[in-house]
Chain A
């Protein structure tokens, strides 16, 4: 009889066990993406407006993030933040407890900063793609810079950036698998723990891979749906049918 080298059934048994940790993966992904988008927008505006000092800082920051592996950035965050806190305690005679910082914070910080650096270039390109005529028209109506940005530039830039941001979301979701280096247990870490119990590493990793794959397909679908939703002919048709009066 052939030895049971690969247990297919086990793979499907392990999937639900790993899915228990999917919320952690999703939490890491969503929070880092939102923070990365906001900070990325800020960096993009700083770069476009060439705001002194901040501009130079942002250039160095983006170069550093792009020039170092995400794994190393996680290590730096995990080891560096406690040091900063110790220094702060020392100089301000405070006694903040390092252990009170949840481990997930280090991961969120590193992932958000990483995402911001990469997104900032995408966002900058998208903002620049909005033609000057529209912003001039908005200004000529008497709108403020903030209003022009919020109501005219961002909605159009968002649609331009959507496919690229979708890719970056997928990359980020998979990137959360590195969170174990900061001792956060998400799906990948859990798969190693499960494998350590029964020494069925390959089955565990197969189950893990299937979940990531499915998640990626899901994100792709959602992005495609959004793209369709923002298509002008589609929007116009819905408005004419009276589904939406105005948005």
Chain B
């Protein structure tokens, strides 16, 4: 279980996250939606401390990190509980697909090379890239790169997987393969926090949807609740665009 209390982050005068409280249970697939600048990415990036929050408490089971008393050791410990998939894939360019997946296992988890190799092969197989293990990122398509990145994250067996707009940088025709991979990971029972603009995907895969606006969670419920019966006007307005595109442009 992941517990977030009073998470706040400002960039100069601008408050991006305003005392966020959030509890995520094991196995939940939580999607975060909202317009750009609402703080979605920042929420993800503060959970693994890539952005340091101004205040708040993050709890992973027994591990509790209070931002006021944060140490380097605690930061590393917290990051070991999370794994992130980035919009721009962020694979290690000088390493092959399999080396990318093995890196964290060897360096962070101190696994012997053979064991790491075995796990990395298995993970790459799961994302359907067993024939690309010795390819370097620049030799792979965007979709393949992102699948390697997902394999890299899954291999770490984190308590939560963080997806930061994983398909936004992809060609439309490559989005499908990545979404399929994420759906598979969700069905396998991984706990996930996902920022995405793929509304129909979110509706299908998420078990819970958050609507973030101006650094606050204004909607929190099942996909049906949020998409069909949003409580706040802000959510309704945001979803009009989405629903608009769902309706047929004409009917006979």
Contacts and interface: CB of A to CB of B under 8 A. Distances in A.
Interface residues of B, number: 36
A85 interface: no
B99 A142 contact: no
B156 A141 contact: yes
Secondary structure class of chain A's binding surface, majority of residues: helix
A214 interface: no
Nearest to A158: B94
A24 interface: no
A156 to B, nearest CB: 5
B136 A134 contact: no
B98 A151 contact: no
B195 to A, nearest CB: 15
Interface in B20-72: 48, 50, 72
Interface in B132-178: 134-136, 138-139, 149, 152, 156
B8 interface: no
Contact of B79 (A142, A159, A232, A233): A142
Residue of A134, A142, A239 contacting most chain B CB atoms (<10 Å): A142
Contact of A142 (B80, B135, B139): B80
A244 to B, nearest CB: 10
Nearest to A245: B117
B96 A236 contact: yes
Nearest to B76: A142
Nearest first, the 6 closest Cβ-Cβ pairs linking A and B are A133-B90, A141-B104, A137-B90, A142-B80, A239-B134, A142-B79
Given A136-B90, A139-B50, 13 more contacts: A134-B92, A134-B93, A136-B50, A141-B104, A143-B104, A151-B107, A152-B92, A156-B94, A232-B139, A236-B136, A246-B96, A246-B102, A246-B113
